Structure 1
Amino acid sequence: MVTTWRVGVDIGGTFTDIVLLGADGTVHTKKISSSVGDYARAIVEGLGQLFAETGIAGGTIEEIRHGTTVASNAILEHKGARTGLITTKGFRDVLEIRTLRMPRLYDIAWEKPPPLVERRLRRVVDERVDARGRVERQLDPAEAEAVVRDLIDEGVEAIAICLLHAYANPAHETLLAGIVRRLAPDLPLSVSSEVLPEIKEYERTSTTVINAYVMPIVARYLRALRSGLDSAGVPARLLLMQSNGGLMASEAAAARPMHIIESGPAGGVIGAQALARAKDLPDIITFDMGGTTAKAATVEGGHVARAAEYSVGAGIMVGSRLLTGAGYLLKVPAIDLAEVGAGGGSLVRVDAAGGVQVGPESAGAVPGPVCYDRGGTAPTITDANVILGYLNPHHLVGGAVTLNAARAASVFEDKVARPLGLELARAAHGAHLIAASNMIRAIRAVSTERGRDPRGFALFAFGGNGPLFACGMAEQLGMRRIVVPPSPGLFSSFGLLYADTEHHYARSFRRLTRALDLAELNAAWDALAAQARAQLAAEGFTAPTARVTRAAALHYHGQSFDLTVPVPDGPLDAAALRDLEEAFGVEHERTYGHRAGAEEPVELVSIQVVGHGLRANGRLPEHTTPARSEGAIAPRRAYFGTATGWIETPVLRRADLAAERTGPLIVEEYDATCLVLPGWRARLDDASNVLIER
């Protein structure tokens, strides 16, 4: 019987990670340098190398699951499509006015990021629909056609349409969309009433524009990837990870790329959620540290924390939720992440005041850290960890990356230790601790700053550098348990294999709950559910593998912000509405520390559904077996600070932790290194996770 395989692929700033999982539980992994400028090439080349190493045939691959930064990079680098925007007269500058939020209080030098659509490509039509959907001024078809022709003559590569209150009545947007499709049928088109039929003009306009801006870029990338896979003899189905942690078919991703903007970090969180459930760990904080950034998220009660909106290019995403306004806003569900610019490639420098600064600038894939010997001249955290003895001084990634430890020490001595007047080991250890402090900010942002005590959570550490820093960070935070999964350096790719297909739909439905027409409400929810089931059916999911869940966004009448609560299946009646109000009150008290009295009116803001596609044969094997097996490793000296100094430290394989061992220890694997500090103990559980406890 031929073993079939599923593939998880995650593109990072330094490496592209590939995981092959067989139906029998066998795992093959590969890390390959990311091919900046043509990310698809590294995927195809990496798969080719794995096929050559293992003898696996491309035709045995059932499915490829992919997390990508292509869309977010297009926004960050302002390399998206030349986009035109059609909006209502008087609303031409919504993209520039934004919401008047300032991410940096009292900083008069701060400037808003430039809009993705320059003003001369923003066109208006003289029409008006009110908030209830009543037409106050009809759209003139001749004017609409003239505006569309004008943008086409300007040579736009995509068009976004966002008219005032189109969520309540899309008739005028539908007319404009019909003209675009008639005059330029191949021109990418994003229509707000189709992609985000919800209130709030800036949020709706920004989301619609971002969808149009990246549509040609994502479509071109997916075509190139599909072509490369077909040429390599891999005709497998291609699924893309969404920002919310669900998967979508590549065809759907090309049509709605707004859902895959932040797909990269989501896989690891979903994988951590699945493994934590299996280990009966309902509350975990995920910590993912790679070469450029470190990210943290919470899984509480077995559920991933999600945000209803987020900003792309907002810089370090930590701190107060009131300090918003940076970046480009997307009002789509996403895993709620806090991120800091700290990774293995983060540059270490001494500033003018004699202080050590770590990041957020990174050496990236090219030239990389000094020890990679690829032309890098600025010391990095990876160089510091080589000097401290934490990383193998000869190679990384199973020997794929040869290290020049002597050059790393020389550059670090010259540019950091000598200017500080410190011996080399103390300077490197100081940089290591500063990097850890920077990353602790992300963990606090998703825990203490949101009313959660991190000491009640387990730290789930992965990424190429996560297990190296987890012990020291947990010690500072008072956390007592750490989980390091198998293949931690490729876990974001591995986590993709745990995700289900999901499609999210929402529409504004603004009514006071005590004045709701239940028949109207149930009909609106049924329409959204039918839309979700139709999309799932088009992708091969029908009962019992298709499931729809519901939620509602509510607030007290007069509030600007809303909270989302789950809604049970079936038609809603008066008793169900009372339960909905009570669920909102409980969530309000949990989030803000108080709730209003029973007499305070509650307002329904929007209704939401999620269509889940559950693969009948999509569950992972209960046990996985890594195909790579490292040989015996000699101990080496490692530095643990001025109080402890240098210690001859055992260097182990993961399998050596079948019996519990006490720190200090270094666990060396193909894709990551795990550091166990003195005072901690480590062992393997029955699923090959490394459990580290004080």
Structure 2
Amino acid sequence: MGQNDIRVGVDIGGTFTDVALLHPGGLTTGKVLTEYSQPEQAIIDAIVKAAGDAGVGLGEIGQVIHGTTLVTNALIERRGAKTALITTEGFRDVIEMRSENRFEQYDLNLTLPVPLVPREHRFTLSERMAPEGEVLLPLDPGEVEAMVERIRDGGFEAVAIGLIHAYANDAHEVAMGAALRTAMPGLSVSLSSVISPQMRELPRFNTVIANAYVQPRVADYLGRLVARLGDIGVTAPVFMLHSGGGLISVETAAQQPVRLLESGPAGGAIFAADLARAHGLDKVLSFDMGGTTAKICLIEEGAPKTANTFEVARTYRFKKGSGMTVSTPVVEMVEIGAGGGSIASIDSLGRLQVGPRSAGSEPGPASYGRGGEDPTVTDANLLLGRLDPENFAGGSIPLLPDRAEAVAARLELSPHDAAFGITELVDENMANAARVHTVENGRDIEHFTMIAFGGGAPLHACRLCEKLGIRAALVPPGAGVGSAIGFLKAPFSFEASRGLFQRLDAFDAGAVNEALEALEAEARAFVEEGAEGAETAVRLTAQMRYSGQGWEIPVLLERKRFGADDVAMILAAFETAYRTLFGRIIEGLPVEITNWVLSVSTVLPKVKPVAHQSGGSPAPVIRTRRFYDAALRAHVDASEVDRASMTVGMTVEGPAIIVESETSTIVTTAYRAIAQSDGALLLLAKETRE
């Protein structure tokens, strides 16, 4: 292993900043608390700590891979640039009118997201393109000059340009953007035809606005990060994990930061997908529970499920439909407020509720002793005996049971009842989210294997499996910093898209092939920034629907170029995908293609298959501890086992607690844990045939 093979992944979460350093001696991982005011400081601290633990010089690091929640947080907290929107006359209020969907049908006081750009900062041009790209109303040069002066006089830091049908012809957007950049070279200008060249003006406008809004802040942050790394001797190139699960250069990320929206959670999905391939699992439920949220993702045939739209900045934090829809490639997952720092309270009807508010890292759960005054999931797990107060986070954060008991009294329950109620409610919320997500994708959850990682997931995995009827779960090595490890396993990739509306009965293969060639060239150019000469794979998806429907479904196509005789093949692929989702097809309706999506990614190295271990000698027990087994509604005497002492095939019968520096795995009475050859723990229901 040379210098270029020493790589470090760093993931900033809402509570912890996780680090994973791959070096000649193996993999060194760790956690530090996230600093909200200076997120780059936590990265520096984490890298310095990991390098010191591994005995690696900072100058020896050959690559830094980073994922961040900065973009999402900036949109949620409205901490972006002063932004203007330039659009076509008559479409100024699209982002405020939204889709007219009432996500809470009977709420008379419904709160909708406030647009990132207020109405007085939204300006229009008298121009118009047709859906096929013809110029219906030319752009007036005098109007362009007047718009430049208006932007200059307004003191704007960023401008989003979203003109109608710019995905079909970008000439007017390019001309307006060029005029602004010439007059104000320091201005951040984002074009919808570059950021999201797809049909549907609402998500396209939202996406280009979100990009412009955060671009100055993200570019400044990434510039500071690279400079600070250089100051401590890390001169390696920095790459970012984008929300679709691949790596892009820091320069691309600075220009298109909207692609970073879900970069941290995407790392976790890659981590789980890599483990699924190694264990030969075709149907996996990825369960990532950290300090602030829990994320659930479906992984089939070794790849996480992806989507082209995503909601951010929800007014009802985890309510689908209440956010701002952006169109950018993203690993599709369900996110709920069920992290270790999620705060419990009593609502106006006297019911116990958990989340969506989180104590985060500042001040953190009450048991941290850092000023937290609210009961959290971590406090509840401590009171139920699932956490060792002397050995939390490797002993770096001593927990205070008396503080957890004191804040539990606020819930007007005994400390034990409050703790049980909090954990059981969180587990049921997560189970329900998993059920809904799998049903929406036409799957039966009982046939899946769970992969649990993140600091909180191993504590809750067995109970979640009990609720879902899942018989087997895997807790991988390094589970506490799974997303950071996932960064090290991510391919270089870029996804390009284009709106090109066609009915299948009028399919124009020439126009489609021309568009696909341009998309592939665009995607390859970005991939070669970080992986020139590497073997690549191309993935093509058509967004399709029946004529008259209001939304499309993604249809994966094997062929990358088409002839007129391929219409039957495309139709068959659409009907297969439609039947999988909805159970039937609709006979007699014409089919349409709205958007094409093409991604290029480097080919991942083949994983080493892991032979299944069905059990062997019992693992050595450190001591006996008591914890509360929710399924039995009783305290049980549990064996405490050091995970590092478990060799291949060793078995731990539940109830048990398997401890390590970054998390603990709770093995309930109904399960047993078996050490696998790659260091993973297989949690298996006892009545399951091995």
Give the TM-score taking structure 1 as reference length: 0.93
What is the CA deviation profile of residues 553-587 of structure 1, one whole-angstrom value per residue up to 9, with x for unaligned ones?
22222222112222234531233221011100111
Q: 1:549 to 1:352 in 2, by over 3 A?
A: closer
Question: For residue 14 of structure 1, what is the aligned residue in structure 2?
Answer: 15
Question: For residue 391 of structure 2, what is the aligned residue in structure 1?
Answer: 395
Does the CA contact (< 8 Å) of 1:394 and 1:404 recur in 2? no
Question: For residue 688 of structure 2, what is the aligned residue in structure 1?
Answer: none
Residue 10 of structure 1 and its aligned partner are, at CA, apart by 0.8
Question: For residue 383 of structure 1, what is the aligned residue in structure 2?
Answer: 379
* Partner SS state of residue 607, structure 1: strand
Question: For residue 441 of structure 2, what is the aligned residue in structure 1?
Answer: 450
Residue 656 of structure 1 and its aligned partner are, at CA, apart by 4.0
1: CA distance, partners of 2:195 / 2:424: 45
Is 1:155 matched up with 2:150?
Answer: no
What is the CA deviation profile of residues 400-435 of structure 1, one whole-angstrom value per residue up to 9, with x for unaligned ones?
1011123322332x323xx23x4x333322222112
| Counterpart AA for 2:140 | D
Question: For residue 87 of structure 1, what is the aligned residue in structure 2?
Answer: 87
Does the CA contact (< 8 Å) of 2:442 and 2:580 recur in 1? no
* Percent of residue pairs identical: 37
Q: 1:513 to 1:681 in 2, by over 3 A?
A: same
Question: For residue 471 of structure 2, what is the aligned residue in structure 1?
Answer: 480
Q: Which one of the candidate residues 469, 473, 496 is aligned to 1:505?
A: 496
1: CA distance, partners of 2:97 / 2:315: 20
Q: Any stretches of 5+ residues in structure 2 without a counterpart?
A: 611-619, 686-690
Question: For residue 626 of structure 1, what is the aligned residue in structure 2?
Answer: none
Question: For residue 595 of structure 1, what is the aligned residue in structure 2?
Answer: 585
2: CA distance, partners of 1:170 / 1:64: 35
Residue 504 of structure 1 and its aligned partner are, at CA, apart by 0.7
Correspondence list, 1:296-311, <5 A: 296-311=296-311
Which is further off, 131-140 or 442-451? 442-451
2: CA distance, partners of 1:212 / 1:180: 14
Is 1:546 matched up with 2:536?
Answer: yes
Is 1:651 matched up with 2:640?
Answer: yes
2: CA distance, partners of 1:545 / 1:612: 8
Question: For residue 293 of structure 1, what is the aligned residue in structure 2?
Answer: 293
2: CA distance, partners of 1:475 / 1:315: 32
Aligned residues: 674
2: CA distance, partners of 1:120 / 1:644: 59
Correspondence list, 1:210-609, <5 A: 210-314=210-314, 324=321, 326-351=322-347, 353-412=349-408, 414-416=409-411, 419-420=412-413, 422=414, 424-542=415-533, 544-597=534-587, 599-609=588-598
2: CA distance, partners of 1:62 / 1:92: 48
What is the CA deviation profile of residues 348-394 of structure 1, one whole-angstrom value per residue up to 9, with x for unaligned ones?
23445443222222211111111111111222111111111110022
Residue 315 of structure 1 and its aligned partner are, at CA, apart by 5.8
2: CA distance, partners of 1:621 / 1:215: 40
* Partner SS state of residue 670, structure 2: coil
Aligned-CA RMSD value: 2.1
1: CA distance, partners of 2:193 / 2:363: 45
1: CA distance, partners of 2:540 / 2:609: 30
Correspondence list, 1:678-693, <5 A: 678-693=669-684
2: CA distance, partners of 1:223 / 1:134: 41
* Partner SS state of residue 490, structure 2: coil
* Partner SS state of residue 275, structure 1: helix
Which is further off, 3-12 or 115-124? 3-12
Does the CA contact (< 8 Å) of 2:391 and 2:661 recur in 1? no
2: CA distance, partners of 1:590 / 1:112: 33
What is the CA deviation profile of residues 623-647 of structure 1, one whole-angstrom value per residue up to 9, with x for unaligned ones?
9xxxxxxx98433222225956333
Which is further off, 467-476 or 554-563? 554-563
Question: For residue 31 of structure 2, what is the aligned residue in structure 1?
Answer: 31
Does the CA contact (< 8 Å) of 1:159 and 1:212 recur in 2? yes
Is 1:72 matched up with 2:72?
Answer: yes
Q: 1:42 to 1:201 in 2, by over 3 A?
A: same
Q: 1:633 to 1:410 in 2, by over 3 A?
A: farther
2: CA distance, partners of 1:592 / 1:519: 32
2: CA distance, partners of 1:14 / 1:536: 32
2: CA distance, partners of 1:665 / 1:110: 46
| Counterpart AA for 1:68 | T
* Partner SS state of residue 604, structure 1: strand
Does the CA contact (< 8 Å) of 1:284 and 1:457 recur in 2? yes
Q: 1:397 to 1:632 in 2, by over 3 A?
A: farther
Does the CA contact (< 8 Å) of 2:306 and 2:329 recur in 1? yes
What is the CA deviation profile of residues 459-509 of structure 1, one whole-angstrom value per residue up to 9, with x for unaligned ones?
111111101011011111111001101111101111111111111111111
Is 1:98 matched up with 2:98?
Answer: yes
Does the CA contact (< 8 Å) of 1:316 and 1:339 recur in 2? no
2: CA distance, partners of 1:147 / 1:22: 54
Correspondence list, 1:117-136, <5 A: 117-136=117-136
Does the CA contact (< 8 Å) of 1:532 and 1:611 recur in 2? yes
Q: 1:61 to 1:642 in 2, by over 3 A?
A: closer
Deviant stretches of 4+, over 6 Å? 316-319, 618-623
Does the CA contact (< 8 Å) of 1:371 and 1:383 recur in 2? yes
Question: For residue 53 of structure 1, what is the aligned residue in structure 2?
Answer: 53
Does the CA contact (< 8 Å) of 1:487 and 1:672 recur in 2? no
* Partner SS state of residue 123, structure 2: strand
| Counterpart AA for 2:486 | G
Which is further off, 301-310 or 470-479? 301-310
Residue 444 of structure 1 and its aligned partner are, at CA, apart by 1.5
Question: For residue 651 of structure 2, what is the aligned residue in structure 1?
Answer: 660
Does the CA contact (< 8 Å) of 1:65 and 1:497 recur in 2? yes
| Counterpart AA for 2:256 | R
2: CA distance, partners of 1:525 / 1:410: 62
| Counterpart AA for 2:403 | R
* Partner SS state of residue 265, structure 1: helix
Q: 1:560 to 1:634 in 2, by over 3 A?
A: same
2: CA distance, partners of 1:540 / 1:589: 38
Q: Any stretches of 5+ residues in structure 1 without a counterpart?
A: 624-630
Does the CA contact (< 8 Å) of 1:548 and 1:609 recur in 2? yes
Question: For residue 627 of structure 1, what is the aligned residue in structure 2?
Answer: none
1: CA distance, partners of 2:607 / 2:467: 35
2: CA distance, partners of 1:32 / 1:646: 33
1: CA distance, partners of 2:258 / 2:88: 23
| Counterpart AA for 2:192 | S
